[in-house]
A = this chain, B = another copy of it.
Amino acid sequence: MIKKEKQYTIGTDIGGTKMNAVLFDGKRVVADYQLATPKDTLDHFMVMLKALLEPLEEKARENKTRIKGIGVGVAGVIDYEKNIMLNSPNISIINGVKLVEELEKITDLPIKLDNDANCFIRAESLIGAGKGYNNNYGFIIGTGIGGGWWINGEVYRGSHGGAGEPGEMIIDYQEEVGLEEAYHKLTQNNPAQLAEETYRGDVLGQKAFEEVGQYFGIAFANIVNLIDPEIFIIGGGVVEASDLFLAQSKKIMIKHIDSEESAKKIKVIKGKLGANAGAIGAAMLIT
């Protein structure tokens, strides 16, 4: 048997608040690194992205291991044919940007691009909380709301790459307000800070998160009544504060699921891979 040369991949998860990158050996994270996501200019964004990747490339050199490529997960709608960011509501400086072309200016490594929620559910399904399940809905609660669906061993993208956007779900008919917009409003565009204040006793924060929980519960029920997954896997930066809203979400979800069998069997669990899930799933794009 020929011994296979050990190789790394890099995965980076670009969110509305943080950019996270991992050096991945196929099973474990060898090194990881984080920076705040620049919001001012594309130039600054690319400089910081380069700064995020360099320590990992350095680590690989130290370990004398080749890097096969870089997978990039990013919040927003992507044109997968042209590798353009079509709509990234929480990182507006990259809207319309050919992100792969921009990255090719700062690295010679092969690059693959995917939605961040798709990366999250890929990693959690293959080596995380969804291992052993085959119909997993990833629901990302961070700066915005993202979704990714893992079914029959792959990410479902839809006929035109537009699937997996539960943040756009309208659940307030009269105001025509989508889930993400309602979430932004309720959490005053800073869910992490509001969670902190709520833990310190802020009653209004508590009420807001209860309402967030109700919104998510309705969204979960709508998803179950359409696609009936085995499990929801919850991720994103706000998952740490999920005790403020997830019980409420489950209660509301169960109430509105049409099929008794689905209501009995559906599971809502938190991801197992923590803050690195998206970056690991991005690294897994490089095969």
Contacts and interface: CB of A to CB of B under 8 A. Distances in A.
Interface in A260-279: 260-263, 265-266
A259 interface: yes
A171 interface: yes
A226 B163 contact: yes
A226 B165 contact: yes
A86 interface: yes
Contacts of A87: 258-260
Interface in A204-257: 214-215, 218, 221-230, 256-257
Nearest to A76: B258
A78 B179 CA distance: 30
Interface residues of A, number: 52
A5 interface: no
Interface string A7-50: 00000000000000000000000000000000000000000000
Interface in A42-95: 77, 79, 86-87
A158 to B, nearest CB: 2
Contact of A168 (B77, B160, B182, B256): B256
A113 B87 CA distance: 43
Given A159-B265, A162-B224, 8 more contacts: A158-B227, A159-B262, A161-B262, A164-B226, A167-B258, A173-B215, A178-B256, A227-B227
